[in-house]
Amino acid sequence: MLKKTIFLGITFLIQISLWGQIEFNNYKTIRCSGTIPKDFSQLTTDKISEDSQERRENLNKTQEKIFLEGIHYGIDGLLHSGLVIYGDPISEYVENIADKLLAKRPEVRKKLRFYTLKSNATNAFSTDQGIVFVTTGLISQLTNEAQLAFVLAHEISHYTEKHVVATFEYKTRRTQQDDQIRQLSTYSKDKEFEADSIGIKLYYETGYAKEELTPAFDVLMYSYLPFDEIEVPVNYFNNEYLFVPENLFPKKKYEIKAIENYDDTRSSHPNIKKRKSHVEESLKNFRNWGDQIFLLGEDRFHYIRNLCRFESIRTDILDANYVDALYSIFLLERQFPESTYLKKMKAHCWLGMAQYKHNGSISDVVERNSELEGEIAALHYVIKKLKNEALYAFALREIVDIRKQLPPSDEMNEIYQRMLHVITTSKSFDLDKFSDKTFSEAAEEFLNSKHSDTNKVEVEKSEKLSKYDRIKNKRNKTDPTVFDSTKFYYYCLSDLIKDTLFVDAFKSMKDSISQVQDQRDRYYAMSYKERLEFDEKNKKEKTFSDFILVEPIAISYKKGKINYESSEKMEEDYRSAINTTASYFDYSIYNLNSKELKSIGTTGFNERSILSNFLMQMTQDTEIDILPVDYDDLRAIKKNYGTGKVIFTIVEHTYAPRVSPRALWFIFYPPGFLSYIPIPFMTGNETELNLIIVDVEKAKIEESVSYYFKEPMFKQILEARMYDIFKNLNSNTNY
């Protein structure tokens, strides 16, 4: 019996470890699972009315209204941002740690809910509603479960001590999500010390080891660095075809500048040194400490941390932090060298960097020299140093190699095609300049030619050449004497130069791009009347029939601040206007919005999150034809709904009549002032409507509409606008 049990146990363990390994090799971003928690599905207005039953003694009615609106709309915005997940392994793990921490306080435990926030910020924060958010960035930085337990204990203390209500800023209503998160995780120094003290008690009672407490603050101090500090070897990029000289890497190490005892007089948080001292003082209050570091098991912690680290790559790519993602890939490749996911993400990074370089905005992707710290600095340094054609060649090389290594897939084909598009549209990329020899072959040939007899003859000949012939010779790549080791990238595509398939594909794309460019130039040279006639002749075939509508956003401002009630009504009107108008054109609309979560379920919520993340990725730089990080998931959505056309839209409205200071001139003609007065009131409406239709299969924006108009916000006006948009969808030409 015992033998059988041991055998079963071993088999189970092997299966678990194998499963884990396979999971990371074919990793897919974590999604929500199970039933939708009430926090996600309940309407904000209902939450506010429920919450207003509980009287907050310290607040007057106005403050209470501002507080409830602030926290509920703010948190609901975050919950529906597509970045928060529930029922996933990470959230479950965090819940399990909370179970341990609050084993003796079931009444508190019952009130708390824990969700994972996909963000690379090292953060955790609790809300007055009893929600604790833990970021994937935080877990990926931790070294053990005990540290996470302390962070959770600290956040639970903020909740139990009602710190949110005490530090809420009643005078400012945050509009940006980052601001809201910052506000929710910012307390006064006293509150931080208090949360540390109470947190330590919880931590102590659970039996965790005290030795892990102060290192938890190191996590905080170095949280701006990647989740590990390992040197990138100078031969990291080298392979059969690609050779990168050492001098491309920085000669010096970039020191880590973080200090414990920074000036915290202007900060809401006490500095790390003070917090460490305070914790060390608090430790003295407790005797007989436990020695647990992993109550839920070390393997599980490492598994969860790896999930978070894999997620951090995806988050970095979403945020266009390609170099950071590349460094994380480098770190994880050591543990998962065969991971398909890491390889694909690496291809995404190289494509993204090439596209940013092509767009002239590479500085958005790499850090400034003054900001470089630690080992990751080497990667930033190298990428920054690469000239356009060098970076394109690097990217193409990497993408081609990864494509060869992986089984054929649409995603890799798309990455390859887009990379081809970058090089074919780039003025600085000339395929003729690239050598059909590898760097080592060319170098060897060069050295041989230096020492050969023929070289002597060549040298004699060369002595007799004119300045201009020498220049021409130097520029002739076929001449081995012009081997230039600084142009090492000219030798990294030697196999592709000889590959007729590649060369043909390159030429054919270049030709078709130049044809399109010519057609476009001709179109813009036409007169208005000619364009109308051209448009009429070349009307697009009807390509739109069904749409997925992702959460139309409506924001109404009053005196510069968001008016939540009016925004909610406007959002309802807008949604209804889109649906009603679409029916005039026989378009079917599939609504994926937070108000209908009960009907769309967790599957719909996941799809909505994927689409929202796609939008987030696209908006990093709208001029770049970015490839979605969740490429396969988006295609699955198309398959599910039978349409890949997704509408994202936002409408913002404010009414702010502005009396011009020039009206003072009416002092010389007072009746003129009477005439002038209605004008600012009539023209005080300002509305901005933005709508894009994205084809998720092509991962491209199909249509984009941006209107700024001075109209009040009525449902009928929104309907008229939507009618106009839908009507014009099928009448536009390709230009």
| Of positions 18, 532, 656, 664, contacts other proteins by CB under 8 A | 532
**540 touching other proteins, by CB under 8 A:** no
d(CA 380, CA 323): 6
CB nearer to other proteins: give 53 or 706. Answer: 706
- Cβ contacts of 434 within 8 Å, gap of 6 or more: 393, 490, 491, 493, 494, 496, 497
Q: Are 591 and 604 in contact (CB under 8 A)?
A: no
| Of positions 305, 314, 343, 721, contacts other proteins by CB under 8 A | 721
The distance of Cα 118 from the centroid of its chain, to the nearest Å, equals: 9
**371 touching other proteins, by CB under 8 A:** no
Q: List the interface residues with other proteins, window 305-334 (CB under 8 A).
A: none
Q: Are 439 and 447 in contact (CB under 8 A)?
A: no
d(CA 81, CA 613): 8
Find the shortest distance in angstroms from Cβ 595 to other proteins.
Answer: 25
Measured distance between the N- and C-terminal CA atoms of the chain, rounded to whole angstroms: 76
d(CA 152, CA 109): 12
Taking alpha carbons only, the member of 125, 80, 127 closest to residue 616 is 80
Tokens read off for 670:
């007072």
**14 touching other proteins, by CB under 8 A:** no
| Of positions 536, 640, 658, 698, contacts other proteins by CB under 8 A | 536
Q: Are 34 and 605 in contact (CB under 8 A)?
A: no
- Stretch in the footprint of other proteins (CB under 8 A) among 80-88, 273-281, 476-484, 528-536: 528-536
| Of positions 519, 683, 704, 734, contacts other proteins by CB under 8 A | 683
**583 touching other proteins, by CB under 8 A:** no
> Which DSSP category does 360 fall into?
T
Count of residues near other proteins by CB under 8 A = 30
CB nearer to other proteins: give 371 or 536. Answer: 536
CB nearer to other proteins: give 245 or 712. Answer: 712
**335 touching other proteins, by CB under 8 A:** no
- Stretch in the footprint of other proteins (CB under 8 A) among 151-159, 227-235, 460-468, 725-733: 725-733
**543 touching other proteins, by CB under 8 A:** no
CB nearer to other proteins: give 404 or 529. Answer: 529
Find the shortest distance in angstroms from Cβ 721 to other proteins.
Answer: 6
**Residue that is written with structure tokens 């039978």 in the block:** 642
| Of positions 675, 698, 704, 734, contacts other proteins by CB under 8 A | 675
Find the shortest distance in angstroms from Cβ 297 to other proteins.
Answer: 60
Q: Which helix (DSSP H) or strand (DSSP E) does residue 646 occupy?
A: strand 645-655
Strand stretches in 261-307, DSSP E: none
Phi, psi of 555 (to 5 degrees): -130, 125
**80 touching other proteins, by CB under 8 A:** no
- Of how many residues is the chain composed? 735
CB nearer to other proteins: give 316 or 719. Answer: 719
Find the shortest distance in angstroms from Cβ 572 to other proteins.
Answer: 18
**671 touching other proteins, by CB under 8 A:** yes
d(CA 20, CA 18): 5
**544 touching other proteins, by CB under 8 A:** no
**709 touching other proteins, by CB under 8 A:** yes
**724 touching other proteins, by CB under 8 A:** yes
Binding track over 615-644 against other proteins, x by CB under 8 A = ------------------------------
Strand stretches in 101-140, DSSP E: 113-117, 124-126, 131-135
| Of positions 454, 466, 478, 716, contacts other proteins by CB under 8 A | 716
**685 touching other proteins, by CB under 8 A:** yes
d(CA 14, CA 411): 32
CB nearer to other proteins: give 7 or 708. Answer: 708
CB nearer to other proteins: give 13 or 679. Answer: 679
Q: Are 3 and 95 in contact (CB under 8 A)?
A: no
**Residue that is written with structure tokens 């190490």 in the block:** 253
| Of positions 256, 296, 497, 720, contacts other proteins by CB under 8 A | 720
Residues 213, 218, 224: CA angle, nearest 5 degrees: 140
- Cβ contacts of 112 within 8 Å, gap of 6 or more: 98, 102, 130, 131, 132, 156, 159
**Residue that is written with structure tokens 């919880």 in the block:** 202
**674 touching other proteins, by CB under 8 A:** yes
**678 touching other proteins, by CB under 8 A:** yes
- Stretch in the footprint of other proteins (CB under 8 A) among 38-46, 250-258, 299-307, 716-724: 716-724
CA distances 93 to 3, 294, 295, Å, are: 31, 12, 11
Find the shortest distance in angstroms from Cβ 662 to other proteins.
Answer: 16
**665 touching other proteins, by CB under 8 A:** no
- Cβ contacts of 561 within 8 Å, gap of 6 or more: 173, 175
- Cβ contacts of 109 within 8 Å, gap of 6 or more: 98, 99, 102, 103
| Of positions 168, 666, 707, 735, contacts other proteins by CB under 8 A | 707
Residues of this chain that bind other proteins (CB under 8 A): 529, 532, 535-536, 671, 674-675, 678-679, 682-683, 685, 706-712, 714, 716-717, 719-721, 723-724, 727-728, 731
